[in-house]
Structure 1
Amino acid sequence: MARIGILKVRGAMPHYEELPFNMYVDRPGMIRDLDALIIPPGTLVESRVLERYGWLGREVWDFVERGGTVVGVCSGVQFLSKSINLNVRGLPGYVEGLGVLNISLEPLIVTGPVLVKVINESWATRGLVNTELGGWQAHTYGKINVLNNDVQIDGVSTITRYNYRNATLETPTLVSSRKYRVFGTMVHGILGPNSPISKNLFNELGIHDERIIREYYKLSDERAWAPREDAPRIPRIITVASTMTGEGKTLLTSALVHCLSREGYYVGVAKLGGDIRDLHPSLYVLKRPFKPWMSIMLRWDDKALGWVGWREALSNAAGLGLDYLVVEGVMGLLTGSSRDSEDVFSSTIGFMKQVGTDVILIASAAYDGVEGAIFRLRSYIKELIEIGRKPIIAVLNNMYHGTHEDEEVVRFRRELEGLSIRLMTIDALPISSKPEELIDLGDYEEAAVKISEESLCEHLIGSLGQS
């Protein structure tokens, strides 16, 4: 049986979507014996895997130059590229990729469904010219620049929303090497068992039997979202909200799913709005794939931000028999609330008004100090109590310590105890990235596990038992 390996190192997400493989590559000496190598999505460049794993670049190059077949997906394309410009909002500039594909990548934020049109034929797109394939994009650095004739553009996507604005852009998303058997896609979801590109890959390997092809998806299937025997059941929903944007919702959501999963619960995750990059840390922790129902639609006037309505999202969660669904809010609790109506919602608080949900509210002391964060928590808790959504836990993130600050926290804790709300504090953690910018998924997982195991799980299980 042909050996298709998938890279499984820090920052790699081999289970983010259906991909064909029958073994994991996680140590030296494995690549040379493969028939094909999949470089999966994730944060391979941001996680500095070429530096962390000294053997990796050399072994991939040796494999490519011996005629090995390589497929890169999203972060895998960045890994194979010559350079990636990470300069978003003043972050560091260009970093080197492996250089197998003579392309560079520039910042281009796309987080939504797309159609990619095949415009040129390579071994991966044979027989598919003028065909459109459906998938999705979820990247920060996704604008491909071809640097010389060694690389062919195999497909382009017409994007209708990018860099947080509604506008149309046609951009390359499928590329192949003219020198090597290397193919890259910035579009997710086009390498499943029924994909024509996957069939071309298997044809290259001399595999034509549909039953054998299905065998290469068994490892993907092990982490799939499968309905439980007692499904459907209505999951308990926990919404993670913040007083402002950038206060730690994504990290806290990752810690929550780690805690609940560790306790033996079947837990899913969703995001209000369309920025599905915020889901990646939780999916990395859970080692499960993204699904469209995880992006819950908001309405901003005549614009839809997100993929599916909340009823469809919750129906999918119930159909799986999830015990819990953790929903990360959008920006601050009140952002967009002036657009809310009885029929539709445009904000996190609007979602809470329509859906029965527990609430965890977070505020960060990094902006205006411990005192400012407590003031915001106090004000927003009052607002939530008025709509019947009293938080089960309030979180003071990026806590720092001093005599006066600690005394203020003690007073606030007593105040919340009178309301039967638990207060949890998180000291500043050595994590400098966030999903919208330069993110190392390994950093996020380590921080999420630390928060979960040191304090969050105790608070959460206690609060859920009381409410």
Structure 2
Amino acid sequence: MVKIGILEVDGVLTLYEHFGHLPTNVVKADGKIENGKKAHEELDGLIIPGGTIMESESLTPELAEEINLINDNDGFILGMCAGFQILGKETDVGRNSPVPIIREGLGLLDVTFEPLINTNKVEADVVDDTTLFTKGLKDTTVTGFHCHTYGKIESNDKNVMYSNIVRANYKHKPSRVLSGVTNKKGNILGTTVHGLLDNNPAIVNNILDYLDATKQYDEIIAENKKLHEKVFNEIAVNTNNFYIPKKEHPEVPPMIMLMGTGSESGKTFLASGIVGALRERGIHTYVVKVGPDIRDLSPSLYMNKEKLHDYASIKIGDIGWTPLDEVIEQVKGKGYDLVLVEGVMSAATGLLNEKVPYSTAEIAYAGNIPVIMVSSVSKGGIETAAIDIEAHIKLLNKMDIKTKGIILNRTYDEKIVAHVTDFLSDKSGIDKNNIWSITKAKVENKGRVPEDYLQLENFTKAAKDVVNKDLDVMKFVELAEIPKFRDYLTFNEIVDIYKK
């Protein structure tokens, strides 16, 4: 039977997609598979998933040599998103830096990358069929999604795929962008179209045909299932910390929402820490995001070794993927013990937009989802955060949204926190035991980089450590409730609430 490797190193989202259920063996940073043999000696092909490989600097010399040798052996190599960057020449990862921050790839594809954010579902046009991946597919359309920060691609190689996107850099900007490049030999494909193999069986069939393995597909799928179970059971990557699940899971998982008083309140950081801490306790938690920025889900999916499903993005207005009522239906029976909803920006951001729904608060109302209010004290201090939280809770009360807990994030003074906790409990009626203070976490990065330069392995470890230290994480399970969709408030109803 043919063997197809999938790379699993720090910063890689190994199970973010299924890759057509093709992978049969894991390749580690030393370039070896599980039996200790070098990858190029055993594998017929290699898949490099997305993640933060460039930022995490996970490409070791041993691994680089094995990838080059697989190419020399005419094995197929598929690089997805960050895996594409690894195969290219270089990536400028300094999105908010005044000067470029360059990370070099292997140069197997003559491609460079610069920042361009896109999180669309996409249709991509195949414009070349001379590669093993696109054989017979020229002038057809394939489907998938984008989830990247570095999507501006300059190529001097063979361009085979162009995506039609609607938004870029958070703005409505319909355009056609390069999303698939191969080498001249045609055995290497780099692409930004996630779900390419899962959504387009013809490409899987082309790979199997190239490997003369079409009749072996059932065996490959069986081996892939074993690999999936093994990878899934470890919490994050290279931690030797394993998930021991509860024996039974509810058919309808309860939900609870992390709702912020503004951007940069720490929702994404806390969500990934909560996922990891609960998983250590045998609780399977899936995170869904209000709105379209599915990049925020990557840390939680890294912790959980989870696929990004369509229901991971709750549609608001004309952005995002799946309407809330469908999300509630689709998470049923999936083995989740809890669904954690991460809000977008402030609870009220978009609330007075005539598109309905267009805010986190409207989603919480419509799903009857209880809320944990999160506010960072970094900008205005602990007292300002408390006043901001109180104002938000008053608004939520008017909207018939239940606030069940409060998190003061990045606190620095225990005495002030104690006074503020009394104040918030008195004003909101929330039990003081459900008002938490999170101390500022130290996230160590490996490079000289801007603050928002994310390394998944360090970010998620710091999140889990601080959650385990400062939160009673099982309370999130206790405070969650079974969602009940009750339709959205009308725009006029929202305006009337504001006037009260």
TM over 0.5: yes
User: Which of these residues, 154, 163, 167, is aligned with residue 173 of structure 2?
Assistant: 167
Q: Does 1:143 align with 2:157?
A: no
Q: Are 2:287 and 1:269 equivalent residues in the alignment?
A: yes
The residue that corresponds to 1:10 in the other structure is 10
Determine the structure 2 residue equivalent to 1:156.
162
Residue 220 of structure 1, CA deviation: 6.6
1:297-446 equivalences in 2 (<5 Å): 297-299=315-317, 304-320=318-334, 322-339=336-353, 344-401=356-413, 406-418=414-426, 419=429, 420-421=431-432, 422-431=434-443, 438-446=453-461
Return the offset for 1:231. Answer: 8.3
Matches within 5 A, 1:98-247: 98-121=106-129, 122-146=131-155, 148=156, 151-179=157-185, 181-192=187-198, 195-209=201-215, 210-215=217-222, 217-219=224-226, 222=229, 233-247=251-265
Question: 2:450 & 2:227 partners in 1: Cα distance?
Answer: 24
**Deviation digits for residues 3-30 of structure 1, max 9, x if unmatched?**
2111100011110011221011114252
Which residue of 280, 299, 306 maps to 1:288? 306
CA displacement, residues 208-240 of structure 1 (integer Å, 9 cap, x when unaligned): 11423433542475489xxx9988833211111
Q: Which amino acid aligns with 1:24?
A: V
Structure 1: any 5+ residue segments left out of the alignment?
none
Percent identity of equivalent pairs: 32
User: Does the aligned pair in 1 maintain the 2:316–2:359 contact within 8 Å?
Assistant: yes
Question: Is the 8 Å Cα contact of residues 35 and 69 (structure 1) preserved in structure 2?
Answer: yes
Q: CA deviation at 1:68?
A: 3.0
Change (3 A) 1:161 1:466: closer
Greater Cα offset, 189-198 or 348-357: 189-198
**1:260 partner SS:** helix
Shift of 1:336: 0.6
Mark the runs of 5 or more structure 2 residues left unpaired by the alignment. Answer: 33-38, 233-245, 483-500
TM-score by length of 2: 0.83
Q: CA RMSD in A?
A: 2.9
State the shift of 1:322 in Å: 3.1
Counterpart of 2:48 in structure 1 is 39
Instruction: Tell me, in whole angstroms, the C-alpha distance in 1 between the residues paired with 2:474 and 2:128.
Output: 56
User: Is the 1:72–1:185 Cα contact (8 Å) retained in structure 2?
Assistant: yes
Helix, strand or coil: the match of 1:392?
A: strand
Map 1:250-269 to 2 at 5 A.
Answer: 250-269=268-287
Residues 407-465 of structure 1: CA deviation (Å, up to 9, x unaligned): 22111122344421522122222238999953211122202211232122447259639
Residues 187, 461 of structure 1: alpha-carbon distance in 2 compared, 3 angstrom cutoff = closer
Equivalent position to 2:24, from 22, 29, 40? 22
Is the 1:140–1:436 Cα contact (8 Å) retained in structure 2? no
1:186, distance to aligned residue in structure 2 (A): 0.8
Q: AA paired with 1:208?
A: T
Equivalent residue letter for 2:479: L
Q: 1:124 to 1:180 in 2, by over 3 A?
A: closer
Quote the Cα distance in structure 1 between the aligned partners of 2:287 and 2:437: 23
2:254, 2:480 within 8 Å by CA — same for their partners in 1? no
Q: Distance in 2 between matches of 1:10 and 1:72?
A: 16
Checking the alignment, whether the CA contact within 8 Å between 2:31 and 2:63 is kept in structure 1 is no
The superposition leaves residues 381-401 of structure 1 with CA deviations (integer Å, 9 ceiling, x where unpaired) of 333334343432211112223
Could you tell me how far apart the structure 2 residues matched to 1:261 and 1:446 are? 13
Amino acid aligned to 1:126: K
Label 1:164 to 1:239 Cα distance change in 2 as closer, same or farther (>3 A): same
| Counterpart selection for 2:469 from 436, 454, 457 | 454
Q: Distance in 1 between matches of 2:333 and 2:134?
A: 36
- Structure 1 position 88, deviation (Å): 1.6
Q: Higher mean Cα deviation, 182-191 or 65-74?
A: 65-74
> Alpha carbons of 1:200 and 1:139: their partners in 2 closer, same or farther (altered >3 Å)?
same
Name the CA distance, whole Å, in 1 between partners of 2:199 and 2:165.
25
Asked if 1:75 is matched to 2:78, the reply is no
- For the 8 Å contact 2:45–2:76, the answer to whether it is kept is yes
Cα deviation code 1:311-335 (max 9, x no counterpart): 0000001243533211100111110
Q: State the Cα distance separating 1:126 from its structure 2 match.
A: 0.8
| SS of 2:83 mapped into structure 1 | helix
Check whether the contact 2:291–2:314 (CA below 8 A) recurs between aligned residues: yes
Q: TM-score, normalised by structure 1?
A: 0.89
Which SS does the other structure have where 2:437 is aligned?
strand
Match for 2:221: what amino acid? Answer: R
Give SS of 2:308's match. Answer: coil
Number of paired residues?
450
Q: 1:181 to 1:462 in 2, by over 3 A?
A: closer
